[in-house]
Amino acid sequence: MKSWQASAPSNIALIKYMGKVDSTQNLPTNSSISLTLNKLLTYVHITEDDKDQWLPLQKENTFKIELSEKGEKRFLSNWLRLKQYFQIEGNYLIQSASNFPADCGIASSASSFAALTMAAFNVAQDKGSQNLDINKVKLAELSREASGSSCRSFFEPFCVWSDSISKFYSAYENLFHFVVIVNGEKKKVSSSDAHKLVVTSDLFKGRPERANHRLELVKNLLNEKSLSSWEKLYEVCWQEFWDMHALFETSQPPFGYLTTGSIEVLNLTRNLWQTFKDGPIVTMDAGPNIHFIWRQDQHSIALAFKAELEKSNYKVIVGNE
């Protein structure tokens, strides 16, 4: 029985996509930029079957994905949308797994739907009859309809998503990334629900303008390779993720993802910067876990900080090396 496979990476936004102007197409209220995390992957396997269905994929060194009934319906409905787009004949078993925890602020939906879109395109090469000559940008746009941030998983090292989707190069090569898992449990408020709720916050007024202004700063700073620009980049990204989490806490009703562990790790990071006058870029997604991005010349201090966190019983997962 024939099968098809694909994998796609997660990504972490430095300037966040939060809020939609068109929920049917997942069009954002502001532009965003993300770092692609090539070691944090979702795998999708597709095999011919007597009906279209989803099951978790059993794969070594992966976390079993447990979709709710709503999540499974969403995944399959997007598979059916892709089938229709490519005019794929037949029925299929879709299986997926990730090598990192899902639904806790590490963009598992981004990598999942990007991998599904890539796998569907692979099936279409054999079983489809329409739209077989599309490029990567169009694939990213197809994936965006399922999960907005998934369109950023098609390009590296960075991706800018505005009116279009494009890769972005930085003066910093081979940035080292890891994420500290403060809490790997499924979050109570999904990212999709967060997008709907943030617009009820009084702080949402001016949010698109603030984000777009920071985006231009980040793009410029990523191309100014100096310690002063790196420190400024840290400050801008710090302001940005707190801006997003403030929206959560002031929505109606309010909700939040920060835990005592989140605050402890953030304080350790602030102390690191104060001690060495240097440190990582820090950011968070819609979840309690914390992402760190380091220059290659910081590798030894990054590994020492990672060891300190692990000694405090935090799980640390490397996303880029």
Instruction: Residue 137: give the domain boundaries.
Output: 3-168
Same domain, 77 and 154: yes
Are 46 and 191 within one domain? no
pLDDT of residue 26: 83
Q: Over the stretch 153-181, which tens digit does the pLDDT of each residue have?
A: 999 999 999 989 999 999 999 999 999 99
Query: Where are the strands (E) in the chain, listed by range?
Result: 3-15, 20-22, 27-28, 32-49, 53-56, 91-98, 158-161, 165-168, 176-181, 281-284, 290-294, 315-320
Mean of pLDDT values over 269-289: 95
Tell whether 208 and 143 lie within a shared domain. no
- Domain boundary at 112, 136, 168, which? 168
Domain count for the chain = 2
- Do residues 128 and 251 share a domain? no
Q: The whole model's pTM is what?
A: 0.94
Tell whether 107 and 214 lie within a shared domain: no
Q: Looking at the structure, do residues 259 and 189 belong to the same domain, yes or no?
A: yes
Domain boundary among 113, 145, 168: 168
Claim to verify: residue 36 and residue 134 sit in the same structural domain: yes
CA angle 267, 273, 279 (to 5 degrees): 110
- Domain identity same for 156 and 274: no
Residues in the chain: 321
Here the CATH number for the domain that contains residue 161 is 3.30.230.10
8-state DSSP, 23: T
222 and 308 within one domain: yes
Same structural domain, 60 and 194: no
- Give every CB contact of residue 3 below 8 A, 6+ residues apart in sequence: 45, 46, 47, 48
- Asked if residue 190 has pLDDT above 70, the reply is yes
CATH of the domain at 269: 3.30.70.890
Whether pLDDT at 104 is above 70: no
